[in-house]
Structure 1
Amino acid sequence: MLPNTDVWSMNTTRRTLLSSCGIGTVALLTGCLGEGNGDANGGDETDDETEGDSDTSPTETGGPELSIVSTDELPDAPVRPAIEVTQKTATESQPPGLKATVTNESDRTLTLGEGRAIVFAYRNDTANNLMLLPAGSDYPVEAGCWRLTEGIAITEEYRMVTLEPGESASQVLELYGAPDTDACLPTGTFRFESPYSVRDESGEEETASFTWGFDISLE
């Protein structure tokens, strides 16, 4: 099996449809936070009790604690998505964190889309209380607090990621509160979903599509 490959270091092909939030791979723009979900909500609706059943948490770092409550069943497709916690609680230097991975379990080369969505980069939870952003970049946050002070604008380019048999694409993610939340990080149970498109090596023919997601807890 080939080693994991960070999704941003892989070759991609792009069909660029720039959104009204501005040109560039990632730009900062107030009011565009909700665009991170794309069409992920095309799946089944989630009960209100699991979507941001939130209380407020202390404004200082150190809490609440992040855990994964549940994940969806594996799809009937030749790829396997997965999610894991990498940072349980916020510190002065970093927010809570997750790592998303998708693996090609078939014996042929596959092309997956959309390249950011398949590793939950720039995804909001279904209630728009939280956002997952790629680790290692500076984002506009309040001092001593992991709540965004303004929205993150995302272009609508469609990225494709090619995976050889046994190869994985992964992304380390950081968890941020939305600008309009009452606390640095709201507490409760939150759901994230993302769409997957599985295509042949050329990317021309779609062989499978599905929505996969997971629930997290901040307590």
Structure 2
Amino acid sequence: MNRRQLLGAVGGGASISVCGFLKTMSSNDEEVAYPKVSVHGDTTDPERNVALSVEVIQQFSRESPAEIQVAFTNTAESAREFYFGSTPPFSEYLSTERNDGTQLVAIPRNRSHISLGDVNDATGESSENQEIVPERPLDGCWRLHGDLAVWGFANQKTVKPGETLQEKFTVLDYSDNTTCLPGGEYRFVSPNYFGQNNPWGFTVELTYSE
């Protein structure tokens, strides 16, 4: 199943969002303005007995792109079975396309089934050893370079009472964008996170100082 696209989570997948606007672009780092990242998670029905959160753990800088973390906690008094996507507790890596056609990507720390080339249909392992998260910005822009291939699969987890699953994600500009990190809000949403047509997601906002 080769898919040159970002696959949504299966069953219990999740979502994220990002927004930003790069005011100046130059190979001279002193001329680059990096946005501040903030995140806003959707509310969760208390009757589900789970707690979902998203937080910023690293801002954009000359040295590194922004990072966010998604956490899922079983707040029930007993162990329970949950179905997630490839990277529990969140497996939606591409934001919803905005009216201007721009998007962002959130690359998980666990990249065993993600590549910038094809993936092996039988195993899901990356067929090319390519750098997904760049070591440095190109002309000041932290951007995904190329098509992202993802091997999507269901991931069943037994979560103990009080146990938390979490995953960190690197925020990058999408390779198809014509400008770097255009401003506004971006939504990452899993449409079936709590079952059919029961979504969960959150918004990440990037803002700039005047």
Calculate the TM-score normalised by the size of structure 1: 0.65
Kindly provide the amino acid, as one letter, of the partner of residue 173 in structure 2. Answer: G
- Residue equivalent to 1:211: 199
TM-fit CA distance, 1:213: 1.2
C-alpha separation between the residues in 2 aligned to 1:155 and 1:91? 30
Q: Give the SS at the match of 2:171.
A: strand
Q: 1:53 to 1:101 in 2, by over 3 A?
A: closer
Q: Within 5 Å, give how 1:99-178 maps onto structure 2.
A: 99-116=69-86, 118-127=88-97, 129-135=103-109, 138-139=131-132, 141=134, 143=138, 144-178=140-174
C-alpha separation between the residues in 1 aligned to 2:74 and 2:202? 20
- Residue equivalent to 1:9: none
C-alpha separation between the residues in 2 aligned to 1:176 and 1:146? 6
Q: Give the SS at the match of 1:196.
A: coil
Matching residue within 25, 37, 43 for 1:59 = 25
Q: 1:160 to 1:93 in 2, by over 3 A?
A: farther
C-alpha separation between the residues in 1 aligned to 2:23 and 2:156? 38
Matching residue within 67, 77, 80 for 1:97 = 67
Count of aligned pairs: 169
Matching residue within 42, 46, 54 for 1:83 = 54
Structure 2 portions without partners, runs of 5+: 12-16, 27-31, 112-130
- Residue equivalent to 2:117: none
Q: Give the SS at the match of 2:7.
A: helix
C-alpha separation between the residues in 2 aligned to 1:110 and 1:209? 21
8 A contact 2:84–2:91 mirrored in 1 = no
Kindly provide the CA deviation profile for residues 58-84 of structure 1, in whole angstroms up to 9, marking residues without a partner as x: 33565111112x322213412211101
TM-fit CA distance, 1:184: 3.0
Kindly provide the amino acid, as one letter, of the partner of residue 38 in structure 2. Answer: S
C-alpha separation between the residues in 1 aligned to 2:82 and 2:204? 25
Kindly provide the amino acid, as one letter, of the partner of residue 86 in structure 1. Answer: I
1:37 and 2:8 aligned:
yes
- Residue equivalent to 2:115: none
Calculate the TM-score normalised by the size of structure 2: 0.67
Q: 1:157 to 1:71 in 2, by over 3 A?
A: closer
Q: What percent of counterpart residues are identical?
A: 22
Kindly provide the amino acid, as one letter, of the partner of residue 143 in structure 2. Answer: R
Higher helix share: 1
Kindly provide the amino acid, as one letter, of the partner of residue 134 in structure 1. Answer: P
TM-fit CA distance, 1:135: 3.3
Greater shift, 145-154 or 109-118, is seen at: 109-118
Q: Give the SS at the match of 2:73.
A: strand
8 A contact 1:56–1:182 mirrored in 2 = no
Alpha-carbon RMSD across the aligned residues, in angstroms, is: 3.1
8 A contact 1:66–1:217 mirrored in 2 = yes
